[in-house]
């Protein structure tokens, strides 16, 4: 079911949960409304069934999970809202780099949640601050929603950076939730799971989906975008940490969330629409149409401003239209079509001013001539940076450049949604 798995949150559900006829009807409806859903309704309002594997009782062994990370393909920051959060528009992309989370749980007369970790920077029971951990918050809220009391042990083996802008803590929270559900044999309904995730953190919900995900609102409104074939990626991991809260304060202090930032939100939306909302009879490998005509979802058309090209000043040198190369880019990889629209990360202006060494690392990732990156940027508010490459050889050369400058760099690739879901439980092999 290419493209349809982005609407469902599935992992190895038995056939008895739905009849073949019912599944065919659901799939047909999902295909018809997929793009409309992506651009018009948050996932926690979509009334599609959410299937989970129901287990009786408790597993005999602890549940072990891979807690994957993300990068941001463009991040536009708007003005602070009345609730104190900033409006955001971004595209999340998951990577196979991961922490390991082990969950053990059993029903009990009262709830007790214990967190251990190999990293001193992780809030944990030994340090007396476990309640600050996103995994603790997620499990506590989930137990309340399930109306279950349990003794829960969560062990977090860190390999991803703390304060790295890769969503590691948020991914830990989702891994802890999925482990808890498997251990206890019960699960929250899909909309409730997403609601709880959004309460815990702005980028927590994306890890309930995986793959390529559009994030709006404060980042918690998530919409699955068509999956792409893996792209070679290099992640640079500087030793410096960046506080997201401080980065937002610096953006506000420099008045970067003025009307100009609102325009950036609109331009990023137009760039996304130019890639993912074209319409026509011919479609690419991900089911995305390859013409430049506006998409018409039933009787509703997308807002006209979303169907306009970004202005030429927002595009890389030599590009005059975001849709001009959509046909060739999509035929190769939808992510290429997106990054070639010239999307940027607004945090770079303030974070690079505070940490000039990060700007140098980005230059190393970008490279030049034949081994140049397709795209390089700060991930989130940093400090991690990444580059995407057209070949593994170009990525290896970028890794060499970054490491030669004294910064740790990891060669990896993007992680599509189907692989994210298949491998999140550690008994499933990667690759």
The tokens describing 161, both together, are 């950076």
For 392, list phi and psi in degrees, rounded to 5.
-70, -30
Residue with tokens 């060669």: 411
For 389, list phi and psi in degrees, rounded to 5.
-135, 155
Q: Is residue 346 annotated as a catalytic residue, yes or no?
A: no
How buried is 327 (Cβ within 10 angstroms: 0-12 exposed, 13-18 middle, 19+ buried)?
middle
For 239, list phi and psi in degrees, rounded to 5.
-75, -20
- Give the number of other Cβ atoms within 10 Å of residue 356's Cβ: 9
- Tell me how many degrees the CA angle 80-85-86 measures, rounded to the nearest 5: 50
End-to-end distance of the chain based on CA atoms, in angstroms?
20
Which helix (DSSP H) or strand (DSSP E) does residue 151 occupy?
A: strand 150-157
Residues forming beta bridges with residue 345, ordered by sequence position: 75
Q: Is residue 203 annotated as a catalytic residue, yes or no?
A: yes
- Give the number of other Cβ atoms within 10 Å of residue 254's Cβ: 12
- Give the number of other Cβ atoms within 10 Å of residue 422's Cβ: 15
| Bond preceding residue 11 cis, omega within 30 of 0 | no
Q: Does residue 397 contact residue 371 with C-beta atoms inside 8 Å?
A: yes
Residue with tokens 């950076």: 161
From the list 203, 227, 279, 346, the catalytic residue is 203
Catalytic residues: 70, 203
């Amino acid at each position: 079911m290419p493209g349809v798995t982005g609407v469902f949150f599935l992992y190895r559900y038995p056939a008895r949960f739905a009849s073949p006829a019912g599944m065919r009807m659901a799939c047909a409806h999902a295909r018809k409304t997929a793009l409309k859903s992506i651009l018009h309704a948050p996932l926690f309002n979509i009334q599609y069934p959410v299937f989970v594997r129901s287990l009786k009782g408790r597993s005999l062994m602890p549940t072990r999970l891979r807690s994957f990370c993300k990068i941001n393909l463009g991040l536009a920051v708007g003005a602070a809202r009345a609730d104190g959060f900033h409006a955001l528009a971004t595209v999340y992309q998951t990577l196979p780099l991961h922490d390991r989370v082990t969950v053990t749980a059993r029903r009990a007369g009262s709830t007790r949640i214990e967190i251990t970790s190999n990293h001193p920077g992780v809030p944990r029971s030994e340090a007396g601050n476990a309640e600050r951990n996103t995994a603790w918050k997620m499990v506590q809220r989930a137990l309340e929603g399930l109306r279950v009391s349990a003794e829960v042990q969560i062990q977090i083996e860190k390999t991803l950076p703390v304060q790295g802008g890769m969503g590691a803590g948020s991914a830990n929270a989702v891994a802890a939730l999925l482990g808890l559900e498997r251990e206890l044999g019960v699960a929250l309904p899909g909309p409730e799971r997403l609601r709880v995730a959004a309460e815990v953190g702005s980028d927590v919900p994306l890890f309930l989906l995986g793959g390529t995900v559009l994030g709006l609102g404060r980042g918690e409104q998530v919409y699955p975008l068509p999956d792409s074939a893996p792209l070679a990626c290099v992640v640079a991991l500087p030793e410096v940490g960046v506080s997201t809260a401080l980065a937002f304060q610096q953006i506000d202090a420099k008045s970067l969330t003025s009307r100009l930032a609102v325009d950036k939100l609109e331009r990023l939306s137009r760039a996304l629409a130019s890639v993912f909302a074209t319409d026509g009879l011919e479609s690419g490998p991900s089911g995305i149409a390859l013409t430049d005509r506006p998409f018409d979802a039933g009787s509703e058309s997308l807002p006209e401003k979303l169907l306009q090209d970004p202005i030429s000043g927002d595009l890389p040198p030599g590009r005059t239209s975001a849709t001009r190369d959509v046909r060739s880019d999509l035929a190769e990889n939808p992510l290429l079509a997106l990054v070639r629209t010239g999307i940027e990360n607004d945090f770079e202006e303030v974070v690079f001013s505070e940490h000039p060494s990060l700007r140098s690392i980005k230059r190393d990732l970008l490279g030049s001539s034949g081994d140049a990156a397709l795209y390089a940027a700060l991930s989130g508010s940093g400090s991690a940076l990444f580059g995407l490459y057209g070949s593994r050889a170009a990525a290896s050369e970028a890794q060499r450049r970054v490491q030669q400058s004294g910064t740790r760099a990891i060669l990896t690739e993007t992680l599509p949604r189907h692989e994210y879901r298949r491998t999140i439980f550690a008994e499933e092999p990667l690759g």
